[in-house]
Amino acid sequence: MIAVVLGTRPEIVKMSPIIRECEARNLDYFILHSGQHYSYEMDWAFFEDLELPEPKYNLDVGSGTQAEQTGKILTGIEKVLMQEKPDIVLVQGDTNTVMAGALAAAKLHIRVGHVEAGLRSFDRTMPEEINRVVADHISDYLFVPTENARRYLLNEGIEENKICRTGNTIVDAVFQNREISKKRANILDTLGLEPREYFLVTSHRQENVDNPENLRNIITGLEAVHREYSLPVIFPMHPRTRKMVEQFGMSLDGVSVMNPIGFLEFLQIESNARLVMTDSGGVQEETCILGVPCVTLRENTERPETIEVGANVLAGTGAGKILTSVGQMLSRTGTWENPFGDGMAGRMIVTICGGLPGMRKVPIKSNTPSCIDQV
């Protein structure tokens, strides 16, 4: 039995190819949702929009301090795992749900597979970096998206035979969910936008939105971009960001703020943007895959491949640097190579975790250690 543990909307998106593969093979599996995000109702819409089965368990832990939230998730996951006794627990990414899920399983001597393992920003002030490192070092199978990620794990002393280079499930998700989105209403028509005639913004990272100086600088930079290019700046605002904007008494001039939207709508608006400004790691990947220039509102990134291929640039949170970086990226044509794989990561991961009895093993690249035969 496979336990798919997730807790945030990006995890739902990136786990969707794995869930679909489990469904297609009629495997014995279940979904456990920690309810880490602010609104489980918003997450529920993601399952519905992406045509995924509903979670068997929802812990509904909500927000809290790092310790409070992690503790609630750890306790809840442990109870479910003791009841269900799965053979392997799959977690994805770098959230508190990932670390708690991996730790609960490891302490119960249940195998752990970390999807999107090996990412590093090398910034331990980020809670996500701590979560990544802990999850990687207690996992039995590390499904890395790139050669950089594999090398980082080897440098940290993780055994080579635990590491499998699969590509990133975000490629599968973008391809699969873009097909679903074509059946839905066009959000560009709803918002009165023309393709390539607007900028898109996302920002939710704690180090950005909880810091009044950083948040003010980002807003000033967005306002400067709007003045310079006279194009709409569309900002689907995360609940955390909206809360801090209101708490700090800030306003946004020339920036069109809207409520968060579903992933399918976001995929449409993202794929048609002239350029995206973000502090999200997942959005950095998506824009790279979609051929849309990206400006990252951080000083570092755990997706260096996006910079190496020319799809992304680090701007930090300084208003002047944001404006300069936008000008730099507007000259990019979007013809860079996608470094995150061929869209078969979900199938490979499920095969590695067992798949159907007697099923032919999915071949993996010659430079990938063969942990596939150890399951």
DSSP string, 91-132: EESSSHHHHHHHHHHHHTT-EEEEETTT-----TTSHHHHHH
Q: Which residues, other chains included, contact 348 with Cβ-Cβ below 8 Å and sequence gap of 6+?
A: 164, 166, 167, 362, 364
Question: CA geometry: angle at 21 spanning 16 and 22, to 5°?
Answer: 100
By CB atoms closer than 10 A (0-12, 13-18, 19+), residue 196 is exposed
User: Which residues carry out catalysis?
Assistant: 204
The answer to whether 287 touches 312, Cβ cutoff 8 Å, is yes
The answer to whether 224 touches 319, Cβ cutoff 8 Å, is yes
Q: The tokens of 252 are what?
A: 């946004």
- Alpha-carbon dihedral sign for residues 225, 323, 305, 338: positive
Q: Residue 113 phi/psi, 5° resolution?
A: -115, 120
